[in-house]
Chains A and B, each alone.
Chain A
Amino acid sequence: DAKTTQPPSMDCAEGRAANLPCNHSTISGNEYVYWYRQIHSQGPQYIIHGLKNNETNEMASLIITEDRKSSTLILPHATLRDTAVYYCIVRVSGNTGKLIFGQGTTLQVKP
């Protein structure tokens, strides 16, 4: 199973872009990269996912390196409500359902 490595914590100024890195050097060719976040006391919330190409939605952008060994989640204009734990997950190979969470990155957005 591909594993992910994220920094335990990061700070970001309100209104600035937050760039959250993730390493997944053992990722397989058919495994997706997912990002979820968990705001205090709530269930995890889906943000975005991708396979090879960069992806963008109303919440964030996902940049995946060409070798797929790392990715970056970008919150273009962070707000105080974006303070949360962000999880980078690689979908388990050969299984369409399983999501395994690591320790994630605690993002603190400061005024």
Chain B
Amino acid sequence: DAGVIQSPRHEVTEMGQEVTLRCKPISGHDYLFWYRQTMMRGLELLIYFNNNVPIDDSGMPEDRFSAKMPNASFSTLKIQPSEPRDSAVYFCASSPGDFGAEAFFGQGTRLTVV
């Protein structure tokens, strides 16, 4: 398996534009996580899914952020409209359903909103 795949690796967009980040988890993994990382706040859990169902979205900063997982092999994180303070590295991770299992992270998407 190629691991968790995120696209794009880099995204530069203008304030007010819609941004969509994509993630393909490892096949067979039941959990999918979206994290955001900034220098100020570190790694923050935004939302996670179990078997394609959102379980906890309490980390989503505001209504401008939304995440979907239409099937077991694909998830998106959308920001609409984007703002400069959304600039960060966004990571996607997946893990099997066993308690104690490790999570595998993608390489991240570096988002810059100008």
Complex Cα spacing A4 to B42, Å: 15
Q: Which of B93, B100, B104 contacts A32 (CB 8 A)?
A: B100
Q: Give B87-106 as 1s and 0s: 1 = Cβ < 8 Å from A's Cβ atoms.
A: 00001010101111011111
Known A46-B102, A102-B42; contact A97-B33, beta-carbon cutoff 8 A:
yes
- Summarize B's interface: helix, strand, loop or mixed: strand
Known A97-B31, A97-B55; contact A43-B50, beta-carbon cutoff 8 A:
no
Interface size of A by CB at 8 A reads 22
Q: Which residue of B lies closest to A51 (CB)?
A: B100
| In contact, B102 and A43 (Cβ under 8 angstroms) | no
| In contact, B45 and A43 (Cβ under 8 angstroms) | no
Complex Cα spacing A45 to B104, Å: 7
Q: Is A53 an interface residue (CB 8 A)?
A: no
Known A101-B43, A103-B42; contact A96-B97, beta-carbon cutoff 8 A:
yes
Interface residues of A (CB under 8 A from B): 32, 34, 38, 42-46, 49, 51, 87, 91, 95-104
